């Protein structure tokens, strides 16, 4: 009887020590600094692309048509990398959909593309249909485009001016107000 209690105690201590090690040693990678790197020096999603031309992509949409980055020549563009399994990223689709539903002339000047990374078409289609979302959604089933854009987390936004230059990269959740402010900047 005493041996089983001792074994349980030792297993509990080992689990706690492992969790401490993961949080203590790995957790420093969660802290970001102003240089666009986390505490371990790893880059934040897409920061290396800032003030550079939009990398080429050629991806299918939900009905199978190919959409290319070159389709947005001379058009300001917002790209968000997201996944349905990430609640915060999925919430951003709702915010983008609200933006697109607003019929002001400014909203017609900016195109919005959501690139879903590494999920089945049926999962993404179901999510978009259930929400009634109209955001143009592209499928990066293999994650190759996400790699080219250095995506480390979702949601990650790219704000591209009409010259095709990435003017801002933002990883994390955006409110409607912050989204509008960032879009105004790429329209200037």
Output the domain CATH number for residue 76.
3.40.30.10
> Residue 107: phi, psi to the nearest 5?
-65, -25
Range name among 81-90, 97-106, 130-139 with the lowest pLDDT average: 97-106
- Binned at pLDDT 50, 70 and 90, residue 27 comes out as very low
Residues 63 and 154 in one domain: yes
Comparing CA positions, the residue from 50, 44, 45, 174 lying closest to residue 112 is 174
- Binned at pLDDT 50, 70 and 90, residue 47 comes out as confident
CA distance 180 to 178: 5
Domain that holds residue 105: 47-187
Residues 26 and 53 in one domain: no
Residue 60 Cα distances to 67, 99, 139, 186, angstroms: 6, 23, 6, 26
Q: How many domains does the chain have?
A: 2
Within 10 A of 102 (CB to CB), how many other CB atoms are there?
A: 11
Residues 84 and 134 in one domain: yes
Residues 85 and 14 in one domain: no
Residue 39 lies inside a defined structural domain of this protein: no
Residues 61 and 95 in one domain: yes
State the chain's mean pLDDT as an integer.
82
pTM for the whole structure? 0.75
């Amino acid at each position: 009887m005493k041996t089983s209690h001792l074994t349980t105690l030792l297993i509990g201590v080992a689990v706690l020590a492992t969790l401490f090690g993961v949080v203590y040693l790995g957790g420093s990678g969660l802290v970001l600094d102003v240089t666009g790197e986390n505490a371990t020096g790893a880059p934040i999603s897409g920061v290396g692309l800032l003030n550079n031309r939009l990398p080429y992509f050629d991806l299918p949409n939900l009905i199978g048509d190919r959409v290319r980055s070159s389709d947005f020549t001379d058009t300001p563009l917002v790209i968000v990398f997201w996944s349905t399994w990430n609640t915060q990223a999925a919430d951003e689709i709702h915010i983008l959909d609200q933006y697109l539903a607003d019929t002001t002339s400014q909203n017609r000047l900016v195109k919005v593309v959501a690139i879903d990374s590494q999920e089945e078409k049926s999962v993404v289609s179901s999510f978009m249909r259930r929400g009634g979302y109209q955001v143009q959604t592209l499928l990066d089933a293999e994650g190759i485009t996400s790699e080219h854009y250095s995506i480390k987390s979702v949601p990650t936004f790219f704000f591209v001016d009409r010259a095709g230059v990435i003017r801002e990269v933002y990883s994390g959740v955006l409110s409607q107000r912050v989204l509008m402010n960032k879009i105004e900047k790429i329209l200037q």
